[in-house]
Structure 1
Amino acid sequence: MKFKKLLGFFVLLLCVSVEADDCPMKIDPPAVVVKYGDPVSVNCTVFTEHVGMGWVAKQNPVPNQPGVQFLLWTVENLTVWDINPQCFANFKGVPQCLRKVSVTVYNTPDSVSIRSENHTGPLVEGYQYKLVCEVQNVAPVQNLTVKWYKGTEVVNITLHPGESKTPVNVSSTLLITPNRTDDGAQYKCVAELQLGSEREWSPPAVESEAFSITVHYSPVISKGGENVTMAQGEMVFLSCRVQGNPSPHVQWVSPSGNVNHSTVKNNSIAIKVSADSPGVYTCTASNHLGNATKIFSVTVNSPSSHSLTTTALPKDTPDSVSIRFENHTGPLVEGRQYRLVCEVQNVAPVQNLTVKWYKGTEVVNITLYPGESKTPVNVSSTLLITPNRTDDGAQYKCVAELQLGSEREWSPPAVESEALSFPVHYPPVISEGDKNVIVDQGSMVSLNCTVQGNPSPLFQWTSPSGNVDFLTPKKNNSIISADSSGVYTCSASNYLGSTTRTVSITVVKKDYTIFAVIPVAILFLLIAFILFLMKRKRQYGNYSVSKRHSEHTVNPNSIPMQCLISNGAHQSLQKSTADTEDQD
């Protein structure tokens, strides 16, 4: 009876050891990235005896196969976006084991193009325009990044949140406010799919053709050389250098009337000074966006006095230069448009004023002021900006410069505003990390959730059973005790939006079989030893010796003995005597 109980206990131990090895299988590779239509192959290995294994998949499933320890799932031409293959193994007396494979099916964009929304033809300086980048047939969209380039400089980055697995068409927009320095600038957008663990691998990027812009702006005439004094008989050249797009029409007016076009070359005129030459000469440049005027004062020296007459303009540097936001206070929000205003107080002459806008050390806009005012005035300049997250903490300033003297060879010191720095708020973005983690049961696992956002996002890890109980919570990293498999989700949010990232944790239970086999083996040896002793006892019987008195004394020195022999079924009595010697 005891032996049967021990044997039953041994069988129970064997059953427990099989159940303790939860899904003893390995997937290689555990995660794959494959282009739609390309081949893919994944191996599944089972480490213990089973009654069959196979693959569950929407394409090329493998039915239950007994008698094999590893099995390949292979597709020559993958055409299912949400494929989700699973390897299964069946065991006697325990539930079926399943192990999922993370498969990312991607498709690079069929085309990437750029256009101007609701506008054709040249752009006009100071007006805002929207550029649209259209990305066709791309998947998965949540791994897509669209970068905008102006020349070789990245000016905007667009991410596309979501969980779509099938191809979609998406677009990205860029607001621009061109100035005359942007004439001929080239824009392009580049679509990148960032795939794999930590996004360390990406298929080739697809970029649009370059989008070149033409900027129209009103004429500006270069300053300098406005006051000329010559002697009679000398030749004088009056230069009217004009910039404008489209090319301005230039008209000269002399004291005697309009100047004949035949005497105008490269917008300049040559005059042979005579007694009739003194006076005011005017150059006017115009196009459909405006006009500009430059006045020359020509004086002829008197032969008798050889006096020199010049005309000087009064000048005054600005009392102050300041910068502010128009109709806004507080942080800026990514993607929204704001207007900066630079106010210049009490400056003269305004027609010699240039206001330059700086972003850091880069000039981003220049404003000129046509006119003929000689007294100090207050003027302003505006700059439209559409910040993104890379502009957080950027500094803007405006600088007022008076450019005076012949050909502007001399200028008083520039007056600049204080730097205007501003925070940019934007929704959270979670950096990619490991999507599949395999750990031993009960061991610690570090879950990384690196979040970028402003204001700082709130983040929370959740598991299929609810919120995760962290052992060591940190800002971007948390450690938990791995007790069960499942999908853990990191959620990050602020008032501008939210985003999530998932990590699939597979918990592998430790193999305690060896710890169960050793005591069972010892138990078997002990049982065998006990059985051996019991068998030996039945074979040789029991022996007992007793002393009895005999009625007949043969030898006074002898001792009568009786031996009782028994084998459990029969007994016999043997008599004998033992002689002893007297000892004196």
Structure 2
Amino acid sequence: MTLQQQRAFLCLFLFLHARSVWARVEVTMKDNVEVYLGDSAEIVCHYNFTEANSVRFVMFQWFVKDKGSSSRIRIYYAVEDNKIVDEGTEYSGRIQVTLDQHKTQLTIQEVQLSDEREFICQVNGLSAGTMERKTHLRVFAPPGSPVIRGVQTGISVTNEMPSKVATCEARNGYPKSNITWYRNNMPLVSSAGLVNVWTGDTVESSGLYSVQSTLEYQVVKEDKDANFSCEVSFFVPGDIMIVESSSVGITVHYPPTMVELWRESPQGLVKEGDTVELRCHGDGNPMPTFIFTRKEDPDVEFDSRGNVLMLQAVSRSDSDDYLCRPRDTTALKEVKGEMRLKVHYLDPAVLVPKESEVMLKGEDLTASCNALSSEKTSVVWYKDGNMVGRGNMLHLQDATYETAGEYVCEVTVPSVPALHTSGSVHIVVHGGPQLVGEEQEVHLEEAVGRMVNLSCEARGHPAPSITWIFVGSQNWFEVFSKSSDHMTHSVVSVAVKSDISAMCNTSNDLGIDVRAFSIKAIPLVTTSAPFSPEGSGVIIVVIILCLLLLAILGSVLYFLHKKGKIPCGRSGKQDISKEKTAKDDIVVEMKNNANAKSEDTVLLKAVNGDKNGTNDQ
């Protein structure tokens, strides 16, 4: 439209206005219109004339208030069918205006932050007058989700002032956001010496705001399990939005208020020689290192590693009350852990009698076995691997040769199975010889020409000796001989040519014992020679009785000689002779041979016999 046309249009408008002075215009608008950044904004202007029929001409204009000043800029006007968007403004290509009978609507495309300003609608009805109203366009941009960062270092409860706990940031929002802090979902408000909140903002190049907030808090021990979070609140069209952050925890450093000391190993009761591991733990954070001491020596520190004390090869002297306490602590009062260590022990067994004891046959003996221990003991006695008694005392009554032997006492501690000890005592039973078996005489029958084995076993201590005496045979020899502390065993073999009488004689310093053997020879061929059974039997009985008497006499003499009851000199000679009355009579001669043997080795041939089998009948 040219300048001349505009002037003509204005003159026409004034003319019409002069003809309609009795009408009046009314305009209404919302105070605010709210819209998201980037959306379209619709601003509606309602108008009305009191005398609508008298108004023939209406002019509409839209203005925007300049942000840099109090002036305003027209962006649109319309008269009748002329609807014109002013050129050269920032809204020239972004607005649309619609008109109808009672309103006009301004639509702004792709709203920007700079659009947050006042938009003015003016309606001119010439004679009805002019009226305008304004609407403030408000633009909103929600910020991004809040980002919370907790401090990575530990915070000490001993700090005198509130310490930095976390930061929270909400970026690119409009208008400025508000940040609220929470502890375990309870809001935190600033409080001198307890809570400080520092909030600032940054204007980005886009014009949006980034808001930062820092929380300073006076931490206490209970905050070790606390969760801190922030909440961002911001305006949106017609509402207030709230977005919560995630939660963060903090590391709280605090001195221990409780210390515990316990034995980690070994399990069960502790015995001498064990390696003991003691552990100390406190409720402080971080866990401090500890000092280990004993109640008896509180000023002597053990060489420990952190919270572990190793005691190698403990003994009973290590039994004591052990204590641990933090090495470096800022606690208001001293805290410590304490426990009692008891080391169990078992001393070597002590036996009475010791090592060995000599008993006479038939005597009684009581042996004892004890071992000093920290706990109740159990004692069991064994002989030859068989249990023979329980308890500290072992009673041996009416000793026999079977009583002799090694007795082992084993001492254990039932409550500490690994503790055990043992000791032994050797029992020796002294007594005269005793032939095994109850027979005083043994009768045998054997065919002529056969070999017969005769066995003689004797018990006694000192070990008895065994000698053999044969009548009626020259052909005999020893085939087996064995001797130990309490036993002697001899086996001889004899050839049967005729009836044989034999005697096994056993003796030691304490006595003698004798057993007779009678072997009846059974002829292989019967002859017709006259035979008198009665005479032969009488001769045999006489011979046996003589042999028995001689054996007993010889043993008694030998026994008395060993006991020193019969003194024997080296001079002189004794001949014992008896007139020969029969073919089988025996002559016994006892001689002292000063050149060869002493009197201690004098043997009675009739008693001890000739083991080489060379005696003449």
Give the TM-score, by structure 2 length. Answer: 0.36
Q: Which has the higher contact order (CA 8 A, sep 6+)?
A: 1
> Which has the greater radius of gyration?
2
Give the TM-score, by structure 1 length. Answer: 0.38
